[in-house]
Structure 1
Amino acid sequence: MSSFDGLGYEEFRRMAGDTSLNQHEKIGFPSWYRDGYEKAIFRDITGKLTNINGRDKTILDIGPGCAGLPRLLIDHSVACGHSLVLLDSPEMLSHLPHHKGVTKIAGFYPNCEQALDGWKGKFDAILCYSVFQYIFVEANFWKFLDYSIELLASGGQMLIGDIPNISKRKRFFSSSAGIQFHQSFTNSTDVPKVDFRSVETHCIDDAVILGVIMRARAQGCDAYWLPQSPSLPMANRREDVLIVKT
């Protein structure tokens, strides 16, 4: 199986059951990438995916994992009276608490139509956070996008968040701020090597993100390319896409 950083659906299933890994490592992050940042990440999400701030909404979280972020969404949804659907592997979902109004569906998105077709046109908000890079390699990402738009209600929003963009990363590491960041991180005087002419296989770049935006707009949606808050740990090399079904 080939996927981003060697990870994919089956590998995440294995990691979810690995008792030697903490909750951040189970979802593919070292602890310092997420520990202490999850509330700030959730604030950034709610500032963009604004439909989840209302009452009695229907929400889908694609690949929530098992760390703190889905727990914040669960607590928020329960408090707001939302109907929340969590879709991930059974191993990941087993770590998350059960609550009234929270439905867990085990499966690999977007190849899960049998479980989700009943919600077509009903979701007020869809969240896909730190997951698109795996779907991009392991699945048909046009099907991912097209099916997600089908699931959205009129006025529904989808946030494809925390997208690692190799083009943004190159721009950052060719800047003086990026060079200083790299040298501080590596405790060295090395200058990052950046080749703007190379195409990295299995990596998301500006062209992919622009393609997602244009395809969503071609289906009658509004779509926006958004920066992350500078307070987030990887804001200098990750970005978000917000899609609104009109």
Structure 2
Amino acid sequence: MAVSFDDIGYEDFRRMATDESLSPHEKIGFPDEYRDIHETAIFADIASKLTNLLRPSQTVLDIGPGCAGLPRRMIDLCQEREHELVLVDSSEMLSHLPDVSGVIKLPGFYPDCGDGLQPWLGRFDAILCYSVFHYIFVEANFWKFLDLSIQLLAPGGQMLIGDIPNVSKRKRFFASEAGVRFHQNFMQTTEVPHVDFRAVETNKVDDAVIVGVIMRARAEGCDAYWLPQGSALPMANRREDILIIKP
């Protein structure tokens, strides 16, 4: 069953989490073919940027982990490295993940569940928000999201806002020869994709949003970087990452 990427939000994901007709990937809004064979490469790309994950005895936050393979890999890594891991998502999503020592499940919609995270202010060595920011951008105050996340970081802490669909990057790609070939092969058509660089797309993350997040993080005393995804990732041609580091 195909699941649309558009016009879904937190309450939709809560409902999808309980829909037994959906696969774990579909419950989080992805067709199986976008994640099934790619999770090893995706998690390796995450760990190559969120390098504190590879240290021992870290405190880790995963925002909106969902219920498919990536949070299970995160749980396994945290168990192996003796990390404390906090998972924030709906209770419906979290119920699909194993209950193991060192893993704390905090039900709620981030950042509106910030009160429950007060004990961890200034304590997280690594924060991951993967394939989630574009939903927070539409449904929440994304400055509140960023400000709370920075407050939660420990000195030397890292935050990866990963797998961000950037409509500006997507337009650049589909205006290129490689993008035209990709579109024609994927859609089995000879048509050239329409690209309008002047059109503002409502509720979509673009270059301006990413620059704004980076500049806000830097204004709050952090280093922040705009990073490409590894070429082996399934949507690297139209998605990007932001890495924030608190000195």
- Alignment TM-score > 0.5, same fold: yes
Residues 1:69 and 2:66 aligned together: no
Report the Cα distance in structure 1 between the residues aligned to 2:77 and 2:120, rounded to whole angstroms. 21
Q: Which residue identity lines up with residue 237 of structure 1 in the other structure?
A: R
Identity of aligned residues (%): 70
Report the Cα distance in structure 1 between the residues aligned to 2:191 and 2:233, rounded to whole angstroms. 25
Report the Cα distance in structure 2 between the residues aligned to 1:47 and 1:85, rounded to whole angstroms. 20
Q: Which residue identity lines up with residue 197 of structure 2 in the other structure?
A: F
- The 5 Å alignment of 1:172-191 reads 172-191=173-192
Aligned match of 1:18: 19
- The 5 Å alignment of 1:27-176 reads 27-176=28-177
Report the Cα distance in structure 2 between the residues aligned to 1:95 and 1:192, rounded to whole angstroms. 39
**1:139-176 superposed Cα distances (whole Å, 9 cap, x missing partner):** 00000000000000001000000000000000000000
Report the Cα distance in structure 2 between the residues aligned to 1:114 and 1:32, rounded to whole angstroms. 37
Q: What RMSD over aligned residues (CA atoms) do the two structures have, in Å?
A: 0.6
**1:72-129 superposed Cα distances (whole Å, 9 cap, x missing partner):** 0000000000000000000000000111100000000000122101100000000000
Runs of 4 or more, structure 1, over 3 Å off, are: none
Q: Aligned residue pairs: how many?
A: 243
Report how far residue 21 of structure 1 moved.
Answer: 0.2
Structure 1: gaps (5+ residues): none
Q: For residue 6 of structure 1, give the secondary structure of its aligned residue in structure 2.
A: coil
Q: For residue 121 of structure 1, give the secondary structure of its aligned residue in structure 2.
A: coil
Report the Cα distance in structure 1 between the residues aligned to 2:167 and 2:34, rounded to whole angstroms. 18
TM-score by structure 1 length? 0.98
**1:36-67 superposed Cα distances (whole Å, 9 cap, x missing partner):** 10010000000000001000000000000000
Q: Which residue identity lines up with residue 206 of structure 2 in the other structure?
A: D
Report the Cα distance in structure 2 between the residues aligned to 1:122 and 1:244, rounded to whole angstroms. 13
Report the Cα distance in structure 2 between the residues aligned to 1:198 and 1:188, rounded to whole angstroms. 24
TM-score by structure 2 length? 0.98
- The 5 Å alignment of 1:214-233 reads 214-233=215-234
Q: For residue 64 of structure 1, give the secondary structure of its aligned residue in structure 2.
A: coil
Structure 2: gaps (5+ residues): none
